[in-house]
Structure 1
Amino acid sequence: MTMEANAEMHLVADASAAIDAGRVDEGKQMLEKVLLEKAAPDDEAFLTEQSAALLRLGQLHRDQKDAEALAATVRASRQFMTTIAKAKTAKLVRVLIDYFFDIPGSGNIQIEVTRENAEWAKQEKRIFLKQNLETKLIGLYYEARMYREALPLINSLLKELKTLDDKMILTEVHLLESKVNHAISNFPKAKAALTAARTNANAIYCPPLMQAQLDMQGGILHAEDKDYSTAASYFLETLEGFASLDDPRTLLAFKYMLLCKIMLNQPQDVATALEGKTVSKYTGSSEIEVMKAVAKAQTERSLEEFEKTLREYKTELSNDPIVRHHLSALYDSLLEQNLLRVIEPYSRVELSHIAQMVHQPVREVEQNQMILDKVFQGVLDQGAGCLVIYDEPAEDETYEATLGTLKQISHVVDSLYEKASKLT
């Protein structure tokens, strides 16, 4: 190593010290000076120091919340990255792109930089890096709800990965495929993609974090099928998996598990679940408080209390489409329960009275589908503005018994016919 290179190596430590002391511009210039130096391809020590300078400069832009400067640093570093090992390049690029997550409002820039680096990796024939960046890009598209851009990239990447048979990345891409298809309400494809992800995961060692994500998606899809019992089991597995890794998504898994308990009409289990040691630190969070409030409204069969909860926790509910979707179904269920409770003592009751009792507009009561769904027997007299309720008709078992008898007679006749055929 030359004396000049050795001196440059000390600049990284000096630059970090200057930045920590508040001399940010001075430290930044030192780091940029290190990166401008050209090192020999076999000078591993100096190349390592340049990598450290690049990461420190990226951290500086991240801490300053300067997404444009971070993007410029990533673009400018490509020439340097052609001089280091491919494995180190992949790690550096991924770390630098991840710094965007800590900069609010940098989603579009992060997508652009990731797309550019994927193209660069393709031109440089760095296949592993290209696949990793395209996988990350799909995830960014999903987070940004750019599903139309995500699907073609998923299809092309899957074709490439199946040829190489890289089951770890295949598992990740199939999981993203399932999430994207679920987001656009293509549930058959979402289920098929999750099955493919599980198949690939079973063929290799699946890291706990990936397993937890698979369980989370499994729970979400079972909840879509109204199989809340199975979904709750999946979310419990997810909760334990994320909690063991201290992953922030533990709270989300816990919230979804409580949602399933509520949808199963078991609001009392919410209080029991909150007593667990694993989730005790989440007890006071707004995400859990909204679940407690919904469970309370369900216990009291109070539509008014439920609507109050929806207003108070509007932000928490509107930000999560999964919770919003299922609570919409719960709202319909609570409205039905309240309507049944009000009309139960009557054989004829005014619609205005029902609307007043359930605190809903008369039009909302009129448009309810309970009669058509045969929740109760009745007819709507719109001329008089009344609901006429009939007694539940006694079930006549004669029809079913007659069908059973005819079925048995048919068997006997068929049997006699076969025996007669053999005699002739």
Structure 2
Amino acid sequence: MNTEMEQEESRLLELSSSLMIERRDEDLRKLVPEARKIASSLSRIKGAKLIKALVENYLLIDSRSDFAVGILVDCIQWATEEERTFLRKSLEVRLMLLYYERKEYTEALNLGANLIIQLKKINDSELLVRVYLLESKCYLGLDNLEKSRTALNLAKVTAYSIYIPPTEQAEIDMHSGILSTVDSKDFKTAFSYFYEAFDIYDNLGDMTAERALKYMLLCKIMLKQNQDIPRLMSGEVELNYNGPETACMIDISKAITSSSLNQFMKTVSEYSEVLEQDPVVLLHLEKLQENMMEQNLIKILKPYSRVQVQYVADKIDLPVLQVERRLSKMILDKKLSGILDQENGVIILFSRSTWSRTDTLWELGNQILEQLHPILNKQTHILNNI
């Protein structure tokens, strides 16, 4: 009987792999209930292996539809009825990951909150690390940086007390780097985390290393250390990781080094498909573009004391209104010394000494008004009582 069941197990595993390769999701979906019947007759370990294998094969070809959620929910229900606690918890963590991938963060967090309580009771630290890490990612997706940081710290503390696989450690390092770029804008620390993740993935031959390398290049760009990029992309690294993700960052670095906004915009347009799939890079592209635009504007304005805004817009190849707004902001931020004459459509630039004197007079005027304020209030009070 056992031999029969084992043969059925092997048949189902082979069939599910074939269906996955052929991307026959409907046939694979129908195979899951049959697998559950066979798993009931197998040992808990073999049964869990069979169910998880079929679920993963299905999710490889369909992780977006409601069928994917349905399969996991049904398998969790089956595991509950069969009193297979560890399999149920493992499937619930996988469902939480699926919710995260579908950007259904609230559903993932609700499931995670219950899982944390239950996993603490059975002292399953390995799954607890995964839940805390997923919780941190979900909070980041909801822009709740404080809770994201707290959940990540809990994942790290729990991971220190047990052995976790290298890929999981790399995932923690990767997420730590991402959170550092978003939360504290600490690109130096982020680079260290990305480097650790890259090293692990590279040694394992996991192509996720290319994503870690892309973030390393992003950190160098944000730190204005573009000169380090050729060194990072030399030797075996250049040979092994020369896909569009790294090529995009290299071209952006070249555009910034040459202070060419046109080249920067062209690169962003050329790699739009790659960039749109990465919210981490997209988050910083706007800042990079602003910096590039300001550098180009300063370069164009440098020879002039008075110049038409239309001329500046033509030189930088951007709409007049966009250029006018940026110039106005640069003046307010004291990156430019001057005023905008909107009536005549010109920007009048001051020398540093003129701006310094104007700035001093402005501050002096404010101080005089502050000193006069209590005197005027007193006089107003006296007049009101007459």
**Normalising by the residue count of structure 1, what TM-score does the alignment of the two structures yield?**
0.79
Does 2:15 match 1:57? yes
Task: Report what 1:208 is aligned to.
Answer: 166
Does 2:338 match 1:378? yes
**Residue identity (%):** 36
Please point out which of 203, 223, 237 is paired with 2:181.
Answer: 223
Q: Which stretches in structure 2 are left out of the alignment for 5+ residues?
A: 361-386
Superposed, which structure 2 residues align to 1:236-385 within 5 Å?
236-283=195-242, 285-368=243-326, 369-385=329-345
Please point out which of 57, 64, 83 is paired with 2:41.
Answer: 83
Give the Å deviation of 1:240.
0.4
Give the Å deviation of 1:115.
2.0
Does 2:157 match 1:199? yes
Note if contact 1:243-1:278 (Cα within 8 Å) is conserved in structure 2.
no
Secondary structure of residue in 2 paired with 1:77 = helix
Q: Deviations over 1:207-256 (max 9, x none)?
A: 21111000000110111122111111111111001111111211111111
Give the Å deviation of 1:151.
1.7
Please point out which of 106, 130, 147 is paired with 2:88.
Answer: 130
Greater Rg over alpha carbons, structure:
1
Name the CA distance, whole Å, in 1 between partners of 2:246 and 2:205: 18
Name the CA distance, whole Å, in 1 between partners of 2:80 and 2:347: 69
Give the Å deviation of 1:296.
0.8
- How many residues are paired up? 354
Q: Deviations over 1:44-95 (max 9, x none)?
A: x332222111112212321321111111111222222112111212111111
Please point out which of 2, 5, 24 is paired with 1:66.
Answer: 24
> Which amino acid is 2:346 matched to?
C
> Which amino acid is 2:287 matched to?
A
Note if contact 1:100-1:110 (Cα within 8 Å) is conserved in structure 2.
yes
Q: Deviations over 1:255-302 (max 9, x none)?
A: 11111111111222222111042452112x111211111011001111
Give the Å deviation of 1:341.
1.4
Task: Report what 1:119 is aligned to.
Answer: 77
Q: Deviations over 1:21-65 (max 9, x none)?
A: xxxxxxxxxxxxxxxxxx4xxx3x332222111112212321321
Give the Å deviation of 1:124.
2.2
Secondary structure of residue in 2 paired with 1:367 = helix
Note if contact 1:177-1:193 (Cα within 8 Å) is conserved in structure 2.
yes
Secondary structure of residue in 2 paired with 1:370 = helix
Q: Counting helix residues as a fraction of each chain, which structure ranks higher? A: 2
Note if contact 2:36-2:51 (Cα within 8 Å) is conserved in structure 1.
no
Name the CA distance, whole Å, in 1 between partners of 2:343 and 2:137: 49
Name the CA distance, whole Å, in 2 between partners of 1:64 and 1:210: 30
Against the structure 1 CA distance between its residues 104 and 85, is the aligned structure 2 distance closer, same or farther, given a 3 Å change threshold?
A: closer
> Which amino acid is 2:249 matched to?
M
Task: Report what 1:419 is aligned to.
Answer: none
Q: Which stretches in structure 1 are left out of the alignment for 5+ residues?
A: 1-38, 398-424
